[in-house]
Chains A and B, each alone.
Chain A
Amino acid sequence: MATTTTERPEKRTAARATSVDAWMDTETRFLGRDVKRQALWLWALRLPALIPVLFMSPAIVTVNSAVLDGVEADVLGTGSMLLLILTLLISPLATLTRQRWFIPLRRWYGIMFAVTAFADAIAAGITTSFAGGVFGRLAGHSFLLAGLAMVLLLIPLFLTANNAAQRWLGLYWKVLHRLTYVIWALLFVHLALLEGLGFQRGTNGPSSAVDGNPIMHQRVYQLTACSIFLLVFRLPGVKRWVGEQQQAGRDWKVWLAVLPLAVLFVAGIAFMLNEQIAKGTGAFLLHAEDD
């Protein structure tokens, strides 16, 4: 979610502007107009956030219950998780690269995370085969209740993800948007209750574990693999150390420390993307391939 994102131009970039920021600040011709490269790149990076909803749009428009019941949780749920990870990824990237031109993506990804999560909750409450009606489908089980709590907590964050609310809340805007970390934690709970903390047993877990990897097919471990990187480079001590190393010209130390965590992050998000693309494409083609 938009934790600290503002769409306003970063005034501090003038002092800390890297070569990439300076290049992004220049203008280029696009469709006969002079446009900043930053704007072009931002919009290019904003479009992928629409993919989860785009995958499910045919099934939603045609009210295809088989697809909605079968894979909507995989497509929209996994998509929401991916967007949350992308939202949380902006700050560590800014810390490591010292670039700030992509900071506005944080709010956009947070908003799209909320939109995707709302779509997931609505579809799950209407179409899934869980018992108990709408409330039963949303809160009939523990993992459903955790998911519902996530969605409910996203509502104030979504409503205040704008400059007007930022002015309205002032100092408390950041305090309120720290709920993002609560949602992050609830996602762990949601996935743990959904799939369990153990290794894959039988048909438990997504993708049926046919590739011999019993760990990374469980979403909770995928999220964990990504969250380690996101969490470590949010710690104030780590951030301070990174800043010191960068100021001292020892960037290699930073990248050396980043490398294993980045590999783990890429491994975890690769499984998410694999499932998102595989099941999302099937959903877009109205082929339900539930695990």
Chain B
Amino acid sequence: MPGTSGARGPGPAGPDSHDEDRSWAAGANEPDWPYPDHPNWPAGSTGRPLTPDHPSWPASGVGQPIGYGRHDGTPPDVPYRDHPSWPAGDVGRVASDDYPSWPAGGPGGRWAASAGRPPAGGAPHHELATEPVPAVHHDPFPRRPAPHVPPARGRHVRGPAGYGYPRPGVPADDIPQRWSAQLARNTGPIPQTYYDLAFGDGRLQVVLTETPGGDPGWAAGGGNTLQLPGPGTPDQAVSWDTGDHGNADSVRVAERILADADQQAAAIRQEATSQAVAIRDAAEWEAAEIRRQAAADTAPIREGAEREAVEIRQLAEAEAAVIREAAKRDAAALRAHLTAMAGEMTQVAAYVTENLTSPGLPAAPPLPQAGPHTLTTPVELPVEPGAGPAIEPVSRPARAPRTRPGARPATKGGAGRGAKPKIRQYKAMRLTSAATAALVVFAAVAGSAEIGLHGFKFFVFRAAGTGATNGDGLPENQGPGQPGAPGAHHKAQHQQAAKAKSHGKAHQQHGKAHQQHGKAHQQHGRAHQAKPAKKN
């Protein structure tokens, strides 16, 4: 983001103007400090090996030191001029790219003296430079604006920044670990202020590592520490530790830092809010615009689709009507054809039946010509008693078909001659007619049998009861077992005749016996006549 920078740029923009700082404490070169420009560098030590990724990290006893610092007890003529705390005068010093703001070019003697003594056994300081953190500085003097540089990444370890390094006689393990962070901000031409953040005991400590130039109360060698409550100690208040020299201006500096940070945070928040609102408004407007555009685009499409649907429907209806009409025509033609065929078959059957049943009769008159045209002139059925017989003259004018409520289309064609009866109904009629004829024949046979049994006179007249013909002398005694039953008199006569016949036979046999007896007598007389002729 513009206005923010995680680190300062290298080169002359660095804060290498310590010479102009009048408050810079002089005489910081103490005899027991191995490095005049860096008082808190452990002199006489074996140096510290720096890891490649953390050049400022002390790695005791591991290889050669990289960067500043010596371990072999060489004099403090370090070749780093761009760093105030680094031994200047050595052109072989390699400036750290990730620390461009490190003062260079000066011996840094005063810096080391004013930086204060590091606590015993101080650990290497890590310099934090996170991107979103604004650069907080406190600099009463106008400085050159910081150029825009890309934000640094990761933690930066600052080397002998003044304190925190092990001192002689203090074990390295006893040195509390401290972290330093560089909070930079470049919202315009602002100078840079350094302070370190130290975490420990659940609190955050801000330690000013660079003295404000114009602050007369800046005490060299003192540990100005702003203690903030950590995440685990929310109930502790903010405290300012001015060290042992008791500089009251440090409080004011911290307050200003905090106020500045709050202001910056508020501004950033407001700016973010404004941007969020603007983005949301733009998004909503864009969504509304898209919706409106979509609606405008779909309206003609919908209208077109509806129009097409109507046209398709009309077309389908028209086609359906045409198909229906064609089907009706076909059905009518087929029906007429079938009816004609059925009529022809019926006429043929009737003709054959008539010829078979009455072979001696003259030929029947020609039947009406079969064809569909006969359906259009149906003959009315003589359903009333006064109507003519079933077989009417052909010349009788045909009437309009009846429209009886119960009539069905099949019955409207007429049942008379020339009609086209249905085969199924015709068969039913034939069956019914046969059954009726059988019943009539049965009645006729019964009547004939009765006439044959009892005689016509007995059949026509009756002697008693309703309608009895008086004086006819016909008693109702001809039932089974009754004296007048059919055949009863004849049977009696037959029995009498049989009796008489058998009696005659007896007499005849008796006569025959008599005849045989006479014949015997005759033979006996002849024998007597032959005996007297033999005695003389």
Q: A: which residues have CB within 8 A of B?
A: 3-6, 8-13, 73, 91, 129-133, 135-136, 138-143, 145, 148-149, 152-153, 155-156, 160, 166-176, 178-179, 181, 184, 193-196, 201-206, 231, 234-239, 291
Q: A152-B439, A174-B381 are in contact. Are A131 and B476 (CB under 8 A)?
A: yes
B476 cross-chain contacts in A, Cβ below 8 A: 129-131
B433 cross-chain contacts in A, Cβ below 8 A: 176
Residue of A nearest to B421 (CB): A171
Closest 3 CB pairs of A and B: A6-B406, A172-B429, A235-B386
Q: How many whole Å from A122's CB to the nearest CB in chain B?
A: 15
User: Are B410 and A234 in contact (CB-based, < 8 A)?
Assistant: no
Residue of A nearest to B426 (CB): A172
Q: How many whole Å from A70's CB to the nearest CB in chain B?
A: 10
User: Are B450 and A132 in contact (CB-based, < 8 A)?
Assistant: yes
User: Are A170 and B408 in contact (CB-based, < 8 A)?
Assistant: yes
Residue of B nearest to A172 (CB): B429
Tell me if B460 counts as interface (CB < 8 A to partner A).
yes
User: Are B450 and A178 in contact (CB-based, < 8 A)?
Assistant: no
A103 to B465, CA, bound (A): 39
User: Are A140 and B450 in contact (CB-based, < 8 A)?
Assistant: yes
Tell me if B411 counts as interface (CB < 8 A to partner A).
yes
A172 cross-chain contacts in B, Cβ below 8 A: 415, 421, 425-426, 428-429, 432
User: Are A4 and B404 in contact (CB-based, < 8 A)?
Assistant: yes
Contact partner of A176 among B429, B447, B458, CB < 8 A?
A: B429
- 8 A Cβ contacts from B409-466 to A: 410-411, 413-415, 419, 421-422, 424-426, 428-429, 432-433, 435-436, 439-440, 442-443, 446-447, 449-450, 453-454, 458-460, 462, 465-466
Q: Is the interface of A mostly helix, strand, loop or mixed?
A: helix
User: Are B467 and A143 in contact (CB-based, < 8 A)?
Assistant: yes
Sample 22 A-B pairs with CB under 8 A, ordered by A number. Answer: A4-B406, A130-B476, A131-B485, A132-B478, A132-B486, A140-B459, A149-B443, A152-B442, A160-B432, A169-B428, A170-B408, A170-B421, A171-B413, A171-B425, A172-B429, A175-B390, A178-B382, A178-B383, A195-B466, A204-B470, A235-B386, A291-B466
Tell me if B295 counts as interface (CB < 8 A to partner A).
no
Bin the interface of chain B by size: 35 or more
Q: How many whole Å from B271's CB to the nearest CB in chain A?
A: 85
Tell me if B270 counts as interface (CB < 8 A to partner A).
no
A195 to B468, CA, bound (A): 8
Q: How many whole Å from A183's CB to the nearest CB in chain B?
A: 11
Q: How many whole Å from A14's CB to the nearest CB in chain B?
A: 10
Contact partner of A153 among B410, B421, B425, B439, CB < 8 A?
A: B439
Contact partner of A148 among B381, B386, B446, B486, CB < 8 A?
A: B446
User: Are A184 and B385 in contact (CB-based, < 8 A)?
Assistant: yes
A198 to B309, CA, bound (A): 89
Q: How many whole Å from B154's CB to the nearest CB in chain A?
A: 98
A152 to B438, CA, bound (A): 9
User: Are A155 and B439 in contact (CB-based, < 8 A)?
Assistant: yes
User: Are B384 and A234 in contact (CB-based, < 8 A)?
Assistant: yes
User: Are B470 and A202 in contact (CB-based, < 8 A)?
Assistant: yes
Contact partner of A174 among B383, B440, B479, B480, CB < 8 A?
A: B383
A181 to B450, CA, bound (A): 26
User: Are B450 and A139 in contact (CB-based, < 8 A)?
Assistant: yes
Q: How many whole Å from B506's CB to the nearest CB in chain A?
A: 39
Q: A131-B478, A148-B443, A204-B467 are in contact. Are A156 and B432 (CB under 8 A)?
A: yes
A169 cross-chain contacts in B, Cβ below 8 A: 425, 428-429, 432
B432 cross-chain contacts in A, Cβ below 8 A: 156, 160, 169, 172, 176
* Apart from A170-B408, A175-B429: 17 A-B pairs, beta carbons within 8 A: A91-B384, A131-B477, A132-B480, A139-B447, A140-B454, A142-B447, A156-B436, A168-B428, A169-B429, A170-B411, A170-B424, A171-B381, A174-B381, A193-B460, A204-B466, A205-B466, A238-B386
User: Are B454 and A132 in contact (CB-based, < 8 A)?
Assistant: yes
User: Are B436 and A141 in contact (CB-based, < 8 A)?
Assistant: no
Q: How many whole Å from B428's CB to the nearest CB in chain A?
A: 5
B446 cross-chain contacts in A, Cβ below 8 A: 135, 138-139, 145, 148
Q: How many whole Å from A13's CB to the nearest CB in chain B?
A: 8
Q: A139-B446, A176-B429, A179-B436 are in contact. Are A194 and B387 (CB under 8 A)?
A: no
Residue of B404, B408, B466, B477 contacting most chain A CB atoms (<10 Å): B466
Residue of B nearest to A11 (CB): B405
A94 to B428, CA, bound (A): 30
Could you mark each residue 305-337 of chain B with 1 if its beta carbon is under 8 Å from any beta carbon of chain A, else 0?
000000000000000000000000000000000
Residue of A nearest to B468 (CB): A204
Tell me if B522 counts as interface (CB < 8 A to partner A).
no
User: Are A131 and B381 in contact (CB-based, < 8 A)?
Assistant: no
Tell me if B502 counts as interface (CB < 8 A to partner A).
no
User: Are A131 and B454 in contact (CB-based, < 8 A)?
Assistant: yes
User: Are B386 and A152 in contact (CB-based, < 8 A)?
Assistant: no
Tell me if B482 counts as interface (CB < 8 A to partner A).
yes
A173 cross-chain contacts in B, Cβ below 8 A: 411
A135 to B442, CA, bound (A): 11
User: Are B466 and A131 in contact (CB-based, < 8 A)?
Assistant: no
Q: How many whole Å from B432's CB to the nearest CB in chain A?
A: 5
A141 to B443, CA, bound (A): 12
A5 to B458, CA, bound (A): 41
User: Are B439 and A136 in contact (CB-based, < 8 A)?
Assistant: no
B482 cross-chain contacts in A, Cβ below 8 A: 131
User: Are B479 and A133 in contact (CB-based, < 8 A)?
Assistant: yes
Tell me if B230 counts as interface (CB < 8 A to partner A).
no
B387 cross-chain contacts in A, Cβ below 8 A: 236
